[in-house]
Amino acid sequence: MSEKKPGVDSVKLYRIRKLLAELSTKEGRGTELVSLYVPAKKPLHEVSAALREEYGTASNIKSDSTRDHVLDALTRTMQRLKLHGRTPENGLAIFCGALPTNGPGSETIFLYDVLPHKPVQNYLYRCDDHFHIEPLQEMLTEQKVIGILSIDASEAGIGIVSGNSFEVVEVLSSGVSGKHRAGGQSARRFERLREMELNDFFNRVARHAVKILITDHGVESLIVSGPGPTKQDFLKNNYLDYRLQKSVLGVVDVSYAGSEGVRETLEKSGELLQEFRLTEERRLVQRFLKDLNSQSGLVVYSLPDTLKGLEGRNADLVLVADDLDQVRLTSICKNCKTKKYKTVSRREYMRERQSMKDESCAKCGTTDYDIEDRDMIEYLADLAVEGGARIEVISGKTEDGNMLKSFGGVGAFLRYRSSA
C-alpha cells in the first residue's frame, strides 16, 4: 500500500492554482463580480446576514442589468453558504458573477467555490469588475525560503529553495592561486599572497550573499556546504553578515563547490529541508527512477500505461507533472447515449473536438453529440480516489520534474506485476 505522508495535498494545490489562473482572466461588464472570503472561525449565519444587507444596498443600483446581475450573484452566494452548513476548517472563498459566454448580452451567472489549503485570516466582501484573488495567491506563495551557499577555495555557488522550486542564483570564481607556487617565489610570500586573495574572495562572496539571500530573497535559514575545511574557515572567521551567520541551519560536507555543490547539498539535506515540498518531490522522482531501473515490473510510465494501472485498480501511487498538456474528451451521442473517448493535447483540442462532433455514431449513425472535456490531471485524480491510490503532482519546472517529463510526464507505482 502507498505510504501516507502528512503534508501538502498536491492535487488540491494544483486545482487552486488552475482556478486562480482562470479567474485572473475573467472580467465583468461593471462592478458585478462578487468576491467573498470567510475566515476559519466566522459563523456562516453572520456572513449570510452581512450579504442580506449588501442585497438591500444593491437593490438601489440604477442600471437594470448591473442590479439584476449583482442580486443574482448575491442570491447564488447565499445559497452556496447554506449548502456548507458550517464554516469549513480553513474558511471559505466564493467567487460569483455574471460572465459573458458569447459576447455582450450573453452573460451567465458562474460560481466558483474554494476550500483554501491554509486558514483564511480576514473577512472580505468585494463587488467589482474583476475577482479579488490576491488573498489566495498570497497563500500559494511559499513564505519560508532557505539559502544554500557551497564554497571552497576555487569557487562558490549560491542557491535558493522555496516550496517546490530550486534555483542556483549565482556562481563566483575565486581567482585564488593554487597551492603549488611558481619557481622563484618564497614559500612565505606565496602563502601571504594566497591568503590575501582568499580573504578578498571570502569578502566578495559575503557581499553577494547579503544581496541575494537577504535583500533579494529574504531567506530565513542558510545551509553552508563544500569540500574540505574551507567552509568552516569561512564561517569561523565571521565573513558572513551577522544575520546570515545567526541563521545557519547546518553545515554539510559535499564533494564539490559552486553550482554542482549547491545541487549536491540539496540532495544531502533531506532532514534539514524536510518541510519543503521540493524535498518530497525529489524523493518521489528518485524512487521512481530507481525502481524503474531495477526492472521490478512494479513501475510504469506514459499516460496509457498509467491509465491502465488506475482503471485496473493496480496503481498504488501516481506521479504527474503539473504541466501535463493533455485533455480527455468524451463525446456522448444525444440519440443513443453511446460514449467515445479521446486524449488530446491542448494544442489539438479544438480540431479534435470538432472531429469528434463530425464523426457518425457507430451505433445509430447520427452526428449529434454532446462533447465534454476534463483536464487530464483532474481525471487521474478522480481515478486515483476511486481505486484507493495516492496521486502526487510534481512541479514541471524543477530538475526532477523534467526527469519525469522525459517519461511522458506521468508514471505509477503498481501494487502487483501486470500480467500483460
pLDDT band at 115 (very low <50, low <70, confident <90, very high): very high
Residue 366 pLDDT exceeds 60: yes
CA-wise closest residue to 103 among 27, 35, 50: 27
CA-wise closest residue to 14 among 390, 399, 394, 306: 394
pLDDT for 117-131, tens place per residue?
Answer: 889 989 999 999 999
Residue 105 pLDDT exceeds 80: no
Question: Any long-range contacts for 273-277 (C-beta under 8 Å, 24+ apart)?
Answer: 273/146, 273/161, 273/223, 275/144, 276/144, 276/146, 276/161, 276/162, 276/163, 276/164, 277/7, 277/8, 277/10, 277/142, 277/163, 277/164, 277/395
In angstroms, rounded to a whole number, what is the distance separating the alpha carbons of residues 125 and 49? 13
Q: Is 146 helix (H, G, I), strand (E, B) or coil?
A: strand
Asked if 221 and 243 count as a contact pair (C-beta separation under 8 A), the reply is no
Cell numbers representing residue 183 in the block: 619557481
Cell numbers representing residue 302 in the block: 506514459
Runs of H (alpha helix) within 59-185: 64-84, 134-140
Q: Which domains are delineated in the chain?
A: 10-140 (3.30.960.10), 145-274 (3.30.420.60), 293-414 (3.30.1330.30)
Residue 7 pLDDT exceeds 60: no
Q: Are strands 315-321 and 410-414 parallel, antiparallel or unpaired?
A: antiparallel
- 10, 412, 314, 382 alpha-carbon torsion, rounded to 10°: 30
In angstroms, rounded to a whole number, what is the distance separating the alpha carbons of residues 111 and 80? 9
Q: What pLDDT does residue 405 have?
A: 94
Q: Are strands 145-151 and 221-226 parallel, antiparallel or unpaired?
A: parallel
Contacts of 89 (CB under 8 A, 6+ apart): 40, 119
More confident residue, 50 or 6: 50
Predicted structure pTM score: 0.69
